[in-house]
Chains A and B, each alone.
Chain A
Amino acid sequence: MSTEPNPDGLVLDVRNLKVSIDTPDGQVHPVRGIDLEVRRGEIVGIMGESGCGKSTTIKGILKLLGSNSHVTADKIELVGQADLATADNKTMRAIRGNHIGFVAQNPFGSLNPIYSIERQFYELQKAHKTGVKKAESREIALDMLRGVGIVAPERVLGGYAHQLSGGMAQRVVIALATTLNPGLLFADEPTTGLDATVQAQILDLITGLVKDENRSMVLVTHDLGVIAQYCQRAVVMLAGEVVESGDVMQVMVDPQHEYTKKLIGSVPKAGEKLSVAR
């Protein structure tokens, strides 16, 4: 990342992001003009229920949506780098991985099933840097795997995705996402579908990687516990719009918007009635 002076420590500044998608039944608008700011060292959680546009938001920023989608914004400024709103595909490819690492929900979808893990580290580095040696790539990969808490990295490196458990595969994806040392990480429901004990380990790991290197992260989740326990700022989305955002302490303890109140009231708490307003 560039180190030019930036008083706010702003890393990502998104204004009026809109995503529309063409479907056989007409155009749909999953994201309807949202703003998003991410500062250095900060973990921003985007929360909401299915269909609220939270995943589409970060995929839209990364331009990872299909060709039937249209992403517009007043700006998507990756501070010191580029305005992603107007960036071409080549720039986006360089940005992804180098400047923004992406961890998707399903690790097995992110890993190539027919390449060894070692090969995937090599391909990743080769794509962003010329003249990468295999031996050099292997050393880096071993380092990265150790960094995500894998005890026997040599064994994992020689293996394939299908030989890994869900938690292990997600560790490998996190290692890959951070190999090129991006300053910003996007994580889309990184622990959904994992067991609670594995989830805690993976979240401890990924937020540790953010804090230790003074990175920033945007964490998309439907799990209010993940927001409350791991994020500093929370953004609440409903039907493609941000209904409330702010400091986690404020949003989760003293929510202002009715929808946020309802969501928090829906979390089962022993001895209390559930909020079931429709």
Chain B
Amino acid sequence: MSLVEVDSVVKTFASRVRGGAPVPALRGVSLTIEEGETLAVIGESGSGKSTLGRAVLRLLDVDEGSVSFDGVDIGSLSPEAMRAKRAEMQIVFQEPYESLNPRLSVGAIVAEPLEIHQPQLGTKEVRKQVLATLDRVGLPGDAARRLPGELSGGQQQRVGIARAIISRPRFMVLDEPTSSLDLSIRAQILSLLAELQEDFKMAYLFVSHDMHTVEWVSDRIAVMYLGEIVETAPTRQLFATPEHPYTRTLLSARLSADPRERHAYQAFAGDAAVVDRAQG
């Protein structure tokens, strides 16, 4: 049994325009994530990758299919039981600042999961754990008293990570956690996430559009295209021998920072979306 099992999940959003056609975001998605592994979901805008991340955490309800965590169908859990389960399954968002309550101090933000899931802990113990967690993600102890707006983007993301790991989750969805960060900060955050995974044996669902990041971070990759997973393969294999034409297109669009490595962009033949775009 895998830690996370997603089975034939379908999710359709109502159109934003009144009377518009409903928008299918997930069209029968299945995947599994093993204890301690990183599965990357890669895709472009509109592929449904972020929707998938939220469906796996039941941050939105799916129309069809099921998501199991540790053998339990989380769609069937009562709201109470689901809330308790959330200690074990966490998320780090793309927008570090927007994901933090601007009115709460960093310490209060990071303490929150403990206050919710371990109300028996005394103030002293909570304080101790918060400071230890801040230290673990590379933030100085005096950050606890600051407001999120007083920190840099990289530090804000560290706060988001501290909040996610303090309840010792076994699984985290990382929704483009480094996309809005500068290159050198991105490297720090990626390294931190890799270390934390090692230390706490967490499984990651790493949602990203960046091939370089995904190649570095993941054990396996699922390629999403228009709400479907078109290919899943171990990372090295996917980069060496991509099966699906869309995967090949994505790989060819990669821009290596080494000028000696060149890929010519290959358009995806029969790609409805690309033709659509070219038509405006």
The residues of A with any CB-CB pair to B shorter than 8 Å are: 49-50, 149-152, 155-156, 159, 163-165, 167-168, 195-201, 203-204, 222-230, 248-249, 252-253, 262-270, 272-276, 278
A267 touches B212 (CB 8 A): yes
Partner of A266, one of B186, B278, B280: B186
A276 touches B255 (CB 8 A): no
Closest to A268 in B: B216
Closest to B239 in A: A270
A interface secondary structure, majority: helix
B216 touches A151 (CB 8 A): no
Q: State whether the Cβ of B191 lies closer than 8 Å to any Cβ in chain A.
A: yes
Partner of A225, one of B186, B217, B257, B277: B257
Known contacts A149-B278, A198-B277; decide if A266 and B184 are in contact (CB<8 Å). Answer: yes
B208-242 contact mask (Cβ, 8 Å, vs A): 1 or 0: 01111101110000000000000000011001000
Partner of A229, one of B236, B259, B274, B279: B259
Known contacts A49-B184, A155-B279, A200-B265; decide if A195 and B256 are in contact (CB<8 Å). Answer: no
A159 touches B280 (CB 8 A): yes
A-B contact count (CB 8 A): 125
Partner of A155, one of B260, B274, B280: B280
Nearest CB of B to A72, in Å: 28
How far, in angstroms, from A273 to B187 measured CA to CA in the complex?
Answer: 9
Partner of B190, one of A227, A268, A270: A268
Partner of B209, one of A167, A195, A230, A268: A195
Among B183, B191, B249, B265, the one with the most A-chain Cβ atoms within 10 Å of its Cβ is B183
How far, in angstroms, from A274 to B260 measured CA to CA in the complex?
Answer: 20
A196 touches B280 (CB 8 A): no
Nearest CB of A to B198, in Å: 13
Nearest CB of A to B82, in Å: 34
A225 touches B256 (CB 8 A): yes
How far, in angstroms, from A29 to B217 measured CA to CA in the complex?
Answer: 37
B249 touches A197 (CB 8 A): yes
Closest to B218 in A: A270
16 additional contacts, CB 8 Å, given A195-B45, A268-B213? A151-B279, A155-B279, A163-B280, A196-B209, A196-B250, A197-B265, A225-B256, A228-B255, A253-B259, A266-B183, A267-B183, A268-B217, A270-B236, A274-B216, A276-B184, A276-B187
